[in-house]
Structure 1
Amino acid sequence: MFSGQHLAAIDLGSNSFHMIVVKPFPDGHIKVVDRLRESVRLGSGLDADNNLSLDAQQRALACLQRFGERLRGLNSERVIAVGTNTLRQASQARDFIRQAEIALGHPIAIISGHEEARLIYLGVAHFFENETTNGNRFVMDIGGGSTELIIGRGLDALYLESLKMGCVSMTEQFFPDGRFDSQSFKRAIRYAHLPLVPIRQNYQSLGWETANGASGTIRTVQKVVQQNGLSPFHITLEHLYALRDRMIDAVYSEKLRLAGLSDERKPVFAGGLAILIAVFESLGITKMQVSDWALREGLVYDRLQRSKPGDIRIAAVKALQSRFSIDLQQAAAVRQTAEHLFQRCRDDWKLPNQVQDLLNWAAELHEIGLIISHESHQKHGAYLLDNVDLPGFSTEEQHWLSTLVRMHRSKLSTKLFGLLDPKEYQTALYLVVILRLSVLLHRARDVVTVKIERLKARENSLMLYLAEPNLEEQRPLLVADLERESDLLKAVNFNLAFN
């Protein structure tokens, strides 16, 4: 689908913003043709209440405007932009994202920590795909506000964790004045050990043949190790201790002189080094090889995969159906009717093509809450979809699924659209109407025996013409359901009529 066409991937990280532009080839490989990176320090702009400072926002928007200039000529289908830990935490993330999308000129999605970890692994695994190892691979990435730890095999991530500690947050907490001493390092390393305690046994039980690091902190460590003559290829715990000791000897950040350590990276290096030491100590890592690829390359390969039958989102939905014992026949019937209604209403309601997949997946998962209870199962389903790990889905996409499932039955209120961007309200309302009607028409849990002969879709209204003589006599329950549905939809100013 994208062969020969440039794709761009942008990572709005807590420390730096990165962008790559790549050219994909028919054999599945990619060639990076351009890279941009700016130190934005978005994470340092978060206060105790997770409010993002105006200065941090302005730095970020200015950077994205420059990135957007490079992206002129690329349509949004070929641009993948994601926000990570800081934007997951920021209380006003939605407002900032709106401004950021205008600055960049393309949509931006916020992804969960687990999704970030999966994509990092995918990028690293592709970087080392010509290796001969057949065993498990351990991958680690230290960002500005989070650290991802993954064990996988081949291109598939098997076990993922995203820990809420990064080079920016750790440096601010333990080295706030740019001063290094043994006690500060001891406290930082001890603190970094804490979130590793409950997961250490799982990682050690799975084991790995190779350990790989990725992204800013670890790539800088490798560069420093190499340029200071410690090792040409690998990082070991002894190398990390040596770097720690050199920093303690320097006492202050401005006095630190390490070949390979840039002035830009220096202010957050201590926190990242403390995390890396703790992980090596806790998990017993003997040596680590560093990848040049990580999240951004993973985003590209994930997008390329979506144009093939192996879209991981389809697999994730099927896995949820199995895990929560969803009636597959009913789910397929509701989906088929929802697809049919979508196609017939699309032009009149100006429905964007990309939301059809979300409607289809919501139809396949609308009964997920039944595993908990039939009573208010739409609420249980919405909660599950907002909180379960769904590989391949952004946080916003999960909110869409949650919202649609939450409103597929029972009473309605405009407040229930609250998780979505207000500008998407009209589209979401139309999808809710389609899903509700699809579920209602399959209440008997068999094939639909009443054919929709034709329909008229207008703004906030839908008229159904049902091909059934003596409808009230032959299908009194359906008539009652449609009448009740018409009354319920009035709460969101939608007019449903049938004949």
Structure 2
Amino acid sequence: MEKIGIIDLGSNSARLVIVELFGDGHFMVVDELKESVRLGQDMERDGFLKPQRVAETIKTLKMFRKLCDASNVDRIIAVATAAVRRAKNQRSFLDEIQATCGIKVKVLSEEEEATLVYRGVINSMDIPKGIILEIGGGSTKIVYYNRRNMLNYVTLPFGAVTLTDLFKDDGLSPEQQAEKVEEFFTEQLKGIEWLSNIEPDVQMIGVGGSFRNIFKISKMVRKYPLDTVHNYNLPVEDFESIYDMIKVLDLDKKKKIKGLSTGRADILPAALAVVKSFVHYMHFENFTIGGSGLREGIMFNQAMPITMEKPISDILGYSLNSLVKYYECDEKHVEHVVNLSVQLFKQLRVLHKFPRQYLKILKVAATLHDCGNRIKFYNHQKHSCYMILNATLYGITHREIVLAAFVAGCHKKEDISAADWVKYKDIVQEEDLEAVRKLGVMLRIAESLDRSCVGCIKGINCDVLGDSVIMKTEVDGDASLEIRDAMTANAEFKKSFRKNLEIL
């Protein structure tokens, strides 16, 4: 077990994340701290980091150092991006940080920064062809990848802070300033030749603080029930409603918007104008917001150095394994329950007729069905449901997360609460409720068939005969406990599948 601190010194914010690396290439964020230092502010005039911004940054880094020391961090990885990269007083600034904070900061090149953003995305999102837009304080990155290979990138030398500074002194209204940013950014896009060669089925992915704020505002507007920013899909039409609402407001009114960080209220309109320009120029109708970027790219590199050569192939499997290890679940039992659940799904396909996507949902529920034991054994299925809804899960949609959580939540005798289900009515589909109940019964039987956690039932063969399902087990040893426990699901099985269950 190793604990590392990752410091990301951006043009707008300084962020610290503390990460536990717990073996076999897995990690978990255990703490974080963020301050808006505005390091890149007012740099456009002469290219120097301003004394007040430097002092604020040093003060923040001292706090970061204190938290790292208190948390027994083994080592600190600190990186700086656009503002420091361009600063004429870069050397003196870095020397002062080293002298006063004991932190050595690496200034990332444009290519290194784009590559880390790409690795954060490609190892956490199951999107085979994508174009990533990351709007920082002092630069904007566009990264194009196809078949999980990074093909092109560009770093434009302005971001939300610099664009706000650029257009704030023209005596323009807030709306006119936003429109000026749109026009300016569109002209920059016209100079990127490879953008015209992007394939039509490429999806847009937005990462970074501005996109996280877009999610928070959209969540409030839509009354969206999940707090998960990662893999949040937003139609451009809905984004434009948010943009049109915000771009006309003065700063005091912006600060009162629910979901909008007060530290970002003044620079968000410029970031939104960049998004508006980009989606129109590229003709996107929707985009996905990713919760992983540069810092996660560093995390993957540190936990799993192989990701510097090739990305993770099974993103969801990797993510689930991380949670199983972090929650200290019985790994052999988990693996066996997943295996038996898959067998049941395939053996009973003639009855349920579910498409393959439901097997993915069952696998997630089976992998994490016991994680609620970390809270309490009694009613642990309810805790498992909550934990799945709020876990860091990669390579899976929000709908799939909700369905997997409900499958885990009803794998005991309990039925699904109508009040709980209706909260997610805008995410799930009408036919999903029956599917969740059937998958829940399959999971319950699979768990029972490894009741003693020794793997004595190796396989299952199901025959559908008249009004019964005959389930024949392949046994190694005494499986009387397992079969007796599985038979207690007979009533739920009959209710869901309209068949009697017999287990031999």
TM-score, length-normalised on structure 1? 0.56
The structure 2 residue matched to 1:192, chosen from 185, 190, 210, is 185
The structure 2 residue matched to 1:226, chosen from 214, 219, 230, is 219
The one-letter code sitting in structure 2 at the alignment partner of 1:147 is T
Deviation of residue 249 (structure 1)? Answer: 4.0
**Residue of structure 2 in register with 1:148 after alignment:** 141
Partner secondary structure for residue 20 of structure 1: strand
**Residue of structure 1 in register with 2:121 after alignment:** 124
Deviation of residue 225 (structure 1)? Answer: 1.5
Output the CA distance in 2 between the equivalents of 1:192 and 1:262.
Answer: 24
Instruction: Check conservation: 1:82, 1:109, Cα contact below 8 A.
Output: yes
Output the CA distance in 1 between the equivalents of 2:43 and 2:117.
Answer: 24
**Residue of structure 2 in register with 1:84 after alignment:** 81
Residues 296 and 155 (structure 1 numbering): CA distance in 2 closer, same or farther, change over 3 Å? farther
Deviation of residue 209 (structure 1)? Answer: 3.9
Matches within 5 A, 1:404-419: none
Residues 179 and 38 (structure 1 numbering): CA distance in 2 closer, same or farther, change over 3 Å? farther
Output the CA distance in 2 between the equivalents of 1:178 and 1:69.
Answer: 43
Residues 105 and 253 (structure 1 numbering): CA distance in 2 closer, same or farther, change over 3 Å? same
Instruction: For residues 431-470 of structure 1, give each alpha carbon's deviation from its aligned partner in whole angstroms, at most 9, with x where no partner exists.
Output: xxxxxxxxxxxxxxxxxxxxxxxxxxxxxxxxxxxxxxxx
The structure 2 residue matched to 1:23, chosen from 20, 25, 33, is 20
Output the CA distance in 1 between the equivalents of 2:123 and 2:303.
Answer: 13
The one-letter code sitting in structure 1 at the alignment partner of 2:269 is A
The one-letter code sitting in structure 2 at the alignment partner of 1:225 is S
Check if 1:41 corresponds to 2:42. no
**Residue of structure 2 in register with 1:106 after alignment:** 103
**Residue of structure 1 in register with 2:206 after alignment:** 213
Instruction: Check conservation: 1:76, 1:107, Cα contact below 8 A.
Output: no
**Residue of structure 2 in register with 1:265 after alignment:** 264
Instruction: Check conservation: 1:222, 1:234, Cα contact below 8 A.
Output: no
Instruction: Check conservation: 1:16, 1:38, Cα contact below 8 A.
Output: yes
Unaligned runs of 5+ in 1: 314-499
Check if 1:253 corresponds to 2:246. no
Number of positions where the alignment pairs a residue of Structure 1 with one of Structure 2? 303
Output the CA distance in 2 between the equivalents of 1:178 and 1:221.
Answer: 27
Deviation of residue 99 (structure 1)? Answer: 0.9
Output the CA distance in 2 between the equivalents of 1:239 and 1:68.
Answer: 41
Instruction: Check conservation: 1:150, 1:159, Cα contact below 8 A.
Output: yes
The structure 2 residue matched to 1:95, chosen from 85, 92, 108, is 92
The one-letter code sitting in structure 1 at the alignment partner of 2:158 is M
The one-letter code sitting in structure 1 at the alignment partner of 2:64 is F
Partner secondary structure for residue 42 of structure 1: coil
**Residue of structure 2 in register with 1:437 after alignment:** none
Partner secondary structure for residue 272 of structure 2: helix
Output the CA distance in 2 between the equivalents of 1:117 and 1:271.
Answer: 21
Output the CA distance in 1 between the equivalents of 2:200 and 2:152.
Answer: 11
> RMSD of the alignment, in Å?
2.7
Deviation of residue 104 (structure 1)? Answer: 3.4
Output the CA distance in 1 between the equivalents of 2:272 and 2:219.
Answer: 16
Deviation of residue 189 (structure 1)? Answer: 0.1
Unaligned runs of 5+ in 2: 226-231, 311-504
The one-letter code sitting in structure 1 at the alignment partner of 2:253 is K
Residues 187 and 294 (structure 1 numbering): CA distance in 2 closer, same or farther, change over 3 Å? same
Output the CA distance in 2 between the equivalents of 1:304 and 1:273.
Answer: 34
**Residue of structure 1 in register with 2:278 after alignment:** 279
Partner secondary structure for residue 235 of structure 1: strand
Instruction: Check conservation: 1:67, 1:104, Cα contact below 8 A.
Output: no
Deviation of residue 286 (structure 1)? Answer: 1.9
Instruction: Check conservation: 1:9, 1:21, Cα contact below 8 A.
Output: yes
Instruction: For residues 31-66 of structure 1, give each alpha carbon's deviation from its aligned partner in whole angstroms, at most 9, with x where no partner exists.
Output: 111111100000114251211111011001000111
Residues 78 and 192 (structure 1 numbering): CA distance in 2 closer, same or farther, change over 3 Å? same
Partner secondary structure for residue 289 of structure 1: strand
Deviation of residue 312 (structure 1)? Answer: 5.2
Residues 199 and 55 (structure 1 numbering): CA distance in 2 closer, same or farther, change over 3 Å? same
Instruction: For residues 378-432 of structure 1, give each alpha carbon's deviation from its aligned partner in whole angstroms, at most 9, with x where no partner exists.
Output: xxxxxxxxxxxxxxxxxxxxxxxxxxxxxxxxxxxxxxxxxxxxxxxxxxxxxxx
Deviation of residue 19 (structure 1)? Answer: 1.1
Deviation of residue 77 (structure 1)? Answer: 7.7
Deviation of residue 116 (structure 1)? Answer: 0.8
The one-letter code sitting in structure 1 at the alignment partner of 2:4 is L
Instruction: For residues 298-351 of structure 1, give each alpha carbon's deviation from its aligned partner in whole angstroms, at most 9, with x where no partner exists.
Output: 112223454x5x7559xxxxxxxxxxxxxxxxxxxxxxxxxxxxxxxxxxxxxx
Residues 195 and 177 (structure 1 numbering): CA distance in 2 closer, same or farther, change over 3 Å? closer
% of aligned pairs identical?
26
Partner secondary structure for residue 32 of structure 2: strand
Deviation of residue 178 (structure 1)? Answer: 10
**Residue of structure 2 in register with 1:337 after alignment:** none
Partner secondary structure for residue 157 of structure 1: strand
Deviation of residue 264 (structure 1)? Answer: 1.4
Check if 1:69 corresponds to 2:62. no
TM-score, length-normalised on structure 2? 0.56
Instruction: Check conservation: 1:174, 1:271, Cα contact below 8 A.
Output: no
Output the CA distance in 2 between the equivalents of 1:115 and 1:96.
Answer: 21
**Residue of structure 2 in register with 1:322 after alignment:** none
The structure 1 residue matched to 2:132, chosen from 128, 131, 139, is 139
Output the CA distance in 2 between the equivalents of 1:109 and 1:207.
Answer: 37
Residues 20 and 198 (structure 1 numbering): CA distance in 2 closer, same or farther, change over 3 Å? same
The one-letter code sitting in structure 2 at the alignment partner of 1:12 is L
Partner secondary structure for residue 52 of structure 1: coil
Partner secondary structure for residue 35 of structure 1: strand
The one-letter code sitting in structure 1 at the alignment partner of 2:213 is T
Deviation of residue 226 (structure 1)? Answer: 1.7
Residues 259 and 224 (structure 1 numbering): CA distance in 2 closer, same or farther, change over 3 Å? same
Matches within 5 A, 1:77-476: 78-128=75-125, 131=126, 133=127, 135-153=128-146, 156-176=149-169, 180-199=173-192, 201-202=194-195, 204-206=197-199, 208-229=201-222, 233-250=232-249, 252-256=250-254, 257-306=256-305
The one-letter code sitting in structure 1 at the alignment partner of 2:90 is A
Residues 24 and 155 (structure 1 numbering): CA distance in 2 closer, same or farther, change over 3 Å? farther
Instruction: Check conservation: 2:3, 2:73, Cα contact below 8 A.
Output: no
Instruction: For residues 113-165 of structure 1, give each alpha carbon's deviation from its aligned partner in whole angstroms, at most 9, with x where no partner exists.
Output: 2211110111122222xx3x4x2122221100111111224654222111112
